[in-house]
Amino acid sequence: MTCMSRARVARRIAAGAAYGGGGIGLAGAAAVGLLLAEAQLARRRVGNGTSPHVPHADGLYGASYTVPGEPALRLTMLGDSTAAGQGVHRAGQTPGALIASGVSAIAERPVGLSTVAVPGARSDDLDRQVSRALADPSRVPDICVIMVGANDVTHRMPPTRSVRHLASAVRRLRTAGAEVVVGTCPDLGTIEPVWQPLRWMARRASRQLAAAQTIGVVEQGGRTVSLGDLLGPEFAENPRELFGPDSYHPSAEGYATAAMAVLPTVCAALGLWPADEERPDAARREGFLPVARAAAEAASEAGTEVAAAMPTGPRGAWALLKRRRRRRVPEAEPEPSPQPSP
Which positions are annotated as active-site residues? 81, 246, 249
| Side chain identity at residue 103, one-letter code | V
Sort strands 316-323 and 111-115 into parallel, antiparallel or unpaired. unpaired
Q: Which helix (DSSP H) or strand (DSSP E) does residue 81 occupy?
A: helix 81-84
Phi, psi of 114 (to 5 degrees): -130, 145
Local structure of 160: helix, strand or coil: helix
Do the Cβ atoms of 169 and 129 come closer than 8 Å?
yes
CA distances for 232 relative to 24, 40, 111, 118, 121, angstroms = 25, 22, 31, 24, 22
Q: How far apart are CA 55 and CA 33, in angstroms?
A: 38
67: β partners: 70
- Burial of 192 (C-beta count, 10 Å sphere; 0-12/13-18/19+): middle
Closest to 321 measured CA to CA, from 198, 292, 181: 292
Nearest to 230 by CA among 264, 204, 256: 256
12 burial class (0-12, 13-18, 19+ CB within 10 angstroms)?
middle
CA angle 145–151–156, rounded 5-degree value: 135
Strand partners, 243: 250
Written as one string, the DSSP assignment of 191-257 is -TTPPTTHHHHHHHHHHHHHHHHHHHHHHTT-EEE--GGGGTHHHHH-HHHHB-TTSSSB-HHHHHH
